[in-house]
């Protein structure tokens, strides 16, 4: 029996018109996930709409409105197989309305998202919002803010629901950077500034510089 193939999940995100769908469609084509004749058909159809450069984007943008406006409106998913891997690619919309609908807008004490840190994916609790800071200078703007909203940055104390291996970013970057996810959306990113042992069982409290996206 041959070795089981590794399943790779890929999500492509970015701003509107940054080339997400084009890049993703081209990747799928280069890896053999779609037939050349289909791409040639897309190229012909795109040329008829004076959008020849959109031929790869149309691999994933199938709605009439998406092709007319040149933007991704709905999530697109594509599965294909290479000689070594099973791949699932998701092309996510980049326009602001989509992002707003899929994250809480503002977070406060008690917020309970999932923390992605290296290979760990563990639910955590935001036990305390310590400070809100200026994203560029790092200067403190507010002590013990009631909430952080879209675009804010701050220091947050987080408690994982079960033990997890982390380090400060300055000591070991791979275990010191994280993403905060809620309802399958990345709502914040940050780095770990300090780690405290909560009790002898090994559970930890992490103090993080969490930058709200």
Residue 39 near residue 56 (C-beta atoms within 8 A): yes
Q: 86: pLDDT confidence band, cut at 50, 70 and 90?
A: confident
Q: 135 or 191, which is more confident?
A: 191
Percent of the chain with pLDDT over 90: 8
pLDDT tens across 114-137, in order?
A: 888 988 889 999 999 999 988 777
Written out in words, the top-level CATH class of the domain with range 6-100 is: alpha beta
Which strand (E) or helix (H) includes residue 185? Answer: strand 185-197
Q: What is the chain's mean pLDDT, rounded?
A: 76
More confident residue, 128 or 211: 128
Domain regions of the chain by residue span: 6-100, 103-212
Q: What's the CA gap between 79 and 88, in Å, rounded?
A: 4
Q: What is the CATH number assigned to the segment(s) 103-212?
A: 2.40.30.10
- 136-149, pLDDT tens digit by residue? 777 899 999 988 88
């Amino acid at each position: 029996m041959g070795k089981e193939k590794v399943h790779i999940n890929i999500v492509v995100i970015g701003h509107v018109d940054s080339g997400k769908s084009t890049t993703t469609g081209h990747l799928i084509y280069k890896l053999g996930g779609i037939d050349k004749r289909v791409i040639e058909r897309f190229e012909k159809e795109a040329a008829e709409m004076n959008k020849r450069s959109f031929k790869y984007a149309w691999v994933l943008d199938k709605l009439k409105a998406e092709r007319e406006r040149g933007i991704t409106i709905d999530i697109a998913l594509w599965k294909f197989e290479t000689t070594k891997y099973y791949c699932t690619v998701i092309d996510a919309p980049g326009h602001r309305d989509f992002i707003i609908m899929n994250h809480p807008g503002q977070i406060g004490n008690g917020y309970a998202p999932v923390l992605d840190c290296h290979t760990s994916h563990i639910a955590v609790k935001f036990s305390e919002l310590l400070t809100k800071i200026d994203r560029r200078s790092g200067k403190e703007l507010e002590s013990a803010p009631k909430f952080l909203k879209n675009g804010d940055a701050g220091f947050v104390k987080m408690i994982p629901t079960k033990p997890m291996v982390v380090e400060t970013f300055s000591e070991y970057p791979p275990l010191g950077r994280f993403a905060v996810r809620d309802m399958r959306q990345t709502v914040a990113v940050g780095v770990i500034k300090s780690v405290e042992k909560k009790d002898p069982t090994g559970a930890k409290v992490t103090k993080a510089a969490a930058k709200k996206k």
